[in-house]
Amino acid sequence: MTVKVRFAPSPTGKLHVGNIRAALVNWLFAQQQQGVFILRIDDTDKARSKQEYVDAIHTDLKWLGINWDDTFRQSDRFDRYKAVVAELKDAGRLYPCYETAEELDMKRKIQMGQGKPPVYDRAALALSADEVAAFEAEGRTAHWRFKLDVPARIDWKDLIRGDVSIDLASVSDPILIRGDGSFLYTLPSVIDDIDYGITHIVRGEDHVTNSAVQVQLFEVIGGKAPEMAHFALLTGKGGEGLSKRHGAMSIEEYRVEAGLEAMSIVSLLARVGTSEPIEGFAEVKELIEGFDFGKFGRSTAKLDPADLDMLNAKILHATPYSMIEDRLDGVDETLWNTIRPNLKKLSDIAEWRMMIDGPVTPIIEDADHIAKTISLLPEGKLTTDSWKEWTDSIKAETGVKGKGLFMPLRHALTGQKHGPDMASLLPLIGRDKVIARLEGKSA
């Protein structure tokens, strides 16, 4: 059996970490199993779906390295969905309902007030022809519910949650078609999964009850329900719902505004909520090889934005020049190796290049001491060995050592209290600028 999974975003907004996590988990599983990853664009909501969001989905996935083997849009398959709807109506499994949203809400409140589960009472099945005509004369249009076969219990072995059992008597007959004739998620999704041979449905635990409903819908339409895996949902680091306030920006914002590396997001989302440590990876191969549903936990997966910053820095520190050369403008391998241990984001390069190229305003607290160091600077072109030779000479001449020796030189040459290794920086700054800065000049 060839594993086939799908990621099904709705093009009504930008992708965020929650739905990208679903994409990543599906993709990693498909890659590990040498299977097929399908991108399904759920654009049945014609009013809210926009091409700009479809384009943004493509851009975000490609940036993260999540490539699809096949793709299609649900809006191209309406004829197929309508054909199945006709079959379900003929079989008596779809029935029209005329309650307004306010009336349904009132029913739920009454049921809960009586200590009953808020399950739809199937009142629409008892409507007479005259009652239906009266509703339609009012201008009401029917929404259509799928008549569940109850009593029934749906059981499956979830790849993450283990044994799952849902009593359909505790679930309302789901609405499959809105009053305006548009499809809700459930029916098109099941039809697509059947037609495209999806073998595994991997998604958030908020779909567990919906999955039970879909199992019966699969059977009625004539398909077999795929295997299922429901992972814990993401929250903020304190367990609160995800929001911008708690670091949950869109993927585009992480890429453009925050300037994060794609692998920092991939590394975090691949491991959050699992038993594996959150680390930085230079290559996605390690994540693919180590993927295992058995490592996913049942407890809430908490997203800490600080982890993204930590991972981003670790990834940059471990990235060799050959893997990033095409993204560096005018930065050679020597400069990259000098500054990368101090990078938090790739945009930090500008700050460290300014330290080298100048102008830098020197910080000199003891002018007499710094003046002595000028005469002890090694002759000729400065190299990575010059720093040790120079500081050894200063130590021998002045008796100053340790922090008292190194920090005044760093302050004078870089105007900063921290930064890249001075032995590597010295030849990059060059003799002329070194002397000028030691003399207190901005250079």
pLDDT in tens, 325-373: 999 998 999 999 999 999 999 999 999 999 999 899 999 988 889 989 9
Say whether both 199 and 144 belong to one domain.
Answer: no
Residue 402 DSSP code: T
For residue 178, pLDDT beyond 70: yes
What pLDDT does 237 receive? 81
| Dihedral (CA of 116, 119, 122, 124) sign | positive
Assess whether 172 and 91 both reside in one domain. yes
245 & 201 share domain? no
**H or E segment and range at residue 154:** strand 153-158
Contact 236, 246 (CB under 8 A): yes
Whether 247 shows a pLDDT value over 70: the answer reads no
**Same domain membership, residue 56 and residue 89:** no
pLDDT tens, residue by residue, 193-215: 999 999 999 999 999 999 999 99
Q: Which of 175, 315, 318, 309 is nearest to 254 (CA)?
A: 309
Exposure string for 411-424, b = 16+ CB within 10 A, e = fewer: bbbbbeeebbebbb
Total number of domains constituting the chain: 4
Residue 155 has pLDDT above 70, yes or no: yes
Residue 210 sits in the same domain as residue 85 = no
* Residue 379 in domain: yes
Q: Are strands 153-158 and 162-167 parallel, antiparallel or unpaired?
A: antiparallel
Is position 329 within any domain? no
Its domain, for residue 11, covers: 4-72+185-235
Which CATH number goes with the domain that contains 300?
A: 1.10.1160.10
Q: What is the CATH number of the domain that holds 113?
A: 3.90.800.10
Question: Is 60 exceeded by the pLDDT of residue 393?
Answer: yes
